[in-house]
Structure 1
Amino acid sequence: MAGYSLLSKAAAELDGIYEYTILHFGLEQARIYLVGLHEPFQMLAEQLTQGRTADELAPGLRRVERQSHAVFYMSKDSGIRIARVLHQRMDVTRHV
């Protein structure tokens, strides 16, 4: 079964999203939002072509939008690596 892993930047970004959401919307909403961000990870690992290519940012990089964020990932032998989780308003060319 294919799986996924988080690179350190993606893990830190998910932590930041969680903390921001707790601060502004409460603990329950933070939990709901984070679960919603994590939901596509396993699906993407099993169906690598679900997202669209982001080769203009880095060779082999793909992206999928989820809620207010863009998830950037790349294929690996047994699934995917989540590289970044960026708010859609961010300038991705500066952060990827």
Structure 2
Amino acid sequence: MRRKVTVRPKALDDMEEIYFYGLAHFGLPVAEDYLRHLHQAFDNLSHHQFGRNIAAIGPGLWVLPVANHLIYFRQQMQEVNIIRVLHHSRDPLSQSFFS
């Protein structure tokens, strides 16, 4: 069963930041390929339950590593909510996930 994937506003902001960073440092083809890779991970989450539960950071929060970033999300039977997409070097405890 395919679940609905919703990308929350902070995750959209993260994706925009990732794109513009990639564009500035690596060029258009690399920036676009990287975003496609992240979107493929979102699609995979719509079909399968992946990731690791990290309830210590937030209730019901899961994380999936993709290349140099971590996708933070909540999943239910029929829906996946992408909360944030952060570089793996960023401290998740210092980030805002739910405000």
For residues 69 and 80 of structure 1, the distance between their equivalents in structure 2, rounded to whole angstroms, comes to 18
% identical aligned pairs: 29
Correspondences of 1:1-96 after superposition (within 5 Å): 1-48=2-49, 50-76=50-76, 78-95=78-95, 96=97
The number of residues matched between the two structures is 95
For residues 88 and 24 of structure 2, the distance between their equivalents in structure 1, rounded to whole angstroms, comes to 20
Residue 5 of structure 1 aligns with an amino acid whose one-letter code is T
- Unaligned regions of 5+ residues in structure 1, if any? none
TM-score of the two chains, using structure 1 as the length reference: 0.92
**Residue 22 of structure 1: CA displacement?**
0.3
**Residue 45 of structure 1: CA displacement?**
2.2
Over aligned residues, Cα RMSD in angstroms?
1.1
For residues 41 and 79 of structure 2, the distance between their equivalents in structure 1, rounded to whole angstroms, comes to 13
User: Cα deviation per residue 1:59-90 (whole Å; 9 max; x = unaligned)?
Assistant: 11100000000000001452200000000000
For residues 39 and 12 of structure 1, the distance between their equivalents in structure 2, rounded to whole angstroms, comes to 18
| TM superposition outliers: structure 1 runs of 4+ over 4 Å | none
Residue 70 of structure 1 aligns with an amino acid whose one-letter code is L
TM-score of the two chains, using structure 2 as the length reference: 0.90
